A = this chain, B = another copy of it.
Amino acid sequence: MTKWLLAVTLVLMALPSSTVAQSKPLVLASQGSFFVGGESKTSKELTSSTTGPGAGETGDVTVNQMYVQYQTPVNGSQHAPVVMVHGCCLSSKTWETTPDGRMGWNEYFVRKGHSVYLADQSSRARSGFDATKINAVKLGQVPPSELPNIFMVSHQASWVVFRFGPTFNTAFPDEQFPVQAADELYKQMIPDLNAFLPTPNPTWTNMAALAVQLKGAVLMGHSESGFFPEQAALIDPTGVKGIVTIETGCTTTLKPEELSRLAKIPILIMFGDHLGDITGPFGSFWTTGFDNCTKFVQQVNDAGGDAQMMYLPKMGIKGNSHMLMQDKNNLQLADLILGWIDEHVERKKTAHHK
């Protein structure tokens, strides 16, 4: 045992045993952050101010890059890396500490032996966005009508669309989202600038490139990004070893050659509860999404694939919201995904995780 190992051991032994029992220290082989993709673009509207820094300057900025933060456990090479991509009006905060302060999927997957890569979608959060158009409008160079849409979700809409309950501030009796901490979720909700992006969405390309860079990874998407893993695989399937699609609207109009490409990749789709129990403008949103995803699963399997729908209520798991990774039973759901990765991606017959 090296001097350092001895030191760590002594420090750990010096902790009150209750502390250790409550939450074991997290041991990482490495962690860090980097970007995938991004290209230079010349901008003449670095600022909308007509004086001071940047005024009147023409210069280059980098756009469409994707920020990625990762952690690798000491035994990480034994399991497939998992890339997690958040949904609309959210950032990678989605996967971290839950609104009521419990462990997020990011840390849980690491503790279960997987390297985890959290990506902020291109044009969101630490990935930045291209403000050129907004400044050009302020400077009077282009009309306001050219502004791309920016989308914010209200507390009121979130509550219902995320299926915390039938109407704002009323929860379903068996609701799994920690509704008393809803205010903490609202702080995570940030403007969505995806309408600023070119086609195809650079996040798709960047996810495909990241999977190649990792020499194989499971891509996971949620809601707005739920079908991004499939889109990434359609761009370049080389690194995509598995796909986890959580609560989204699936595409059912893929061509046969596209379906046969996806049929080579194990696909898991997960949906929570109360899909048809909300009213208002989003009343049929989730039932339609679920029906399309059910059809997509069938299409992939008809093409010889390995696609599976985990519809939680059908499995006896009740009350889950749209924010499955933050629900009170989030680690139970994580175990379902980890077990699926074991069986379908890592091709193990038994689902043992360390």
CA distance A152 to B48 in the complex (A): 10
User: Assembly of this chain: how many copies?
Assistant: 2
Number of A interface residues at 8 Å Cβ cutoff, please give it.
91
- Per-residue interface assignment for chain A, residues 131 to 143, with 1 indicating a CB less than 8 Å from any chain B CB and 0 otherwise: 1101101101000
CA distance A145 to B138 in the complex (A): 6
User: How many whole Å from A154's CB to the nearest CB in chain B?
Assistant: 2
Are B191 and A131 touching (Cβ within 8 A)? yes
A187-B38 in contact (CB<8A): yes
Quick check: is A47 within 8 A (CB to CB) of the other chain? Answer: yes
Q: Is B46 a contact partner of A154 (Cβ separation < 8 A)?
A: yes
Contact of A60 with B156 in the complex, beta carbons under 8 Å: yes
Per-residue B-contact encoding for A22-38, CB less than 8 Å = 1, 0 else: 01111111111111001
What CA separation (Å) do A144 and B101 show in the bound complex? 41
Q: Which residues of B contact A125 (CB under 8 A)?
A: 91, 120, 125-126
State A102–B184 Cα separation when bound (angstroms): 34
CB pair A1–B5 under 8 Å, yes or no, is no
Question: If A126-B93, A145-B138, A191-B131 touch, does A61 touch B27 (CB 8 Å cutoff)?
Answer: no
**A10-18, A244-252, A270-278 - interface stretch:** A10-18
The answer to whether A189 and B12 touch (CB under 8 A), given A53-B157, A134-B134, is no
Indicate which residue in B47, B130, B154, B187 contacts A35 across the interface (CB closer than 8 Å).
B187
Q: Is the CB–CB distance between A150 and B128 below 8 Å?
A: no
Q: A5-B12, A137-B137, A138-B149 are in contact. Are A155 and B61 (CB under 8 A)?
A: yes
**Residues of A that sit less than 8 Å from B by CB:** 1-2, 4-5, 8-9, 11-13, 15, 17, 19-20, 23-35, 38, 40, 43, 46-49, 53-54, 57-62, 65, 67, 69, 74-75, 91-93, 96-97, 101, 103-104, 107, 120, 125-132, 134-135, 137-138, 140, 144-145, 147, 149-157, 183-184, 186-191, 281-282
Cβ-closest 4 pairs across A and B: A59-B154, A128-B190, A32-B97, A131-B191
- Taking A33-B93, A46-B153, A92-B126 as given, write out 10 further A-B residue pairs in contact, using a Cβ cutoff of 8 Å, ordered by the A residue number: A34-B184, A46-B154, A46-B157, A53-B157, A54-B157, A61-B186, A125-B125, A130-B191, A132-B152, A134-B134
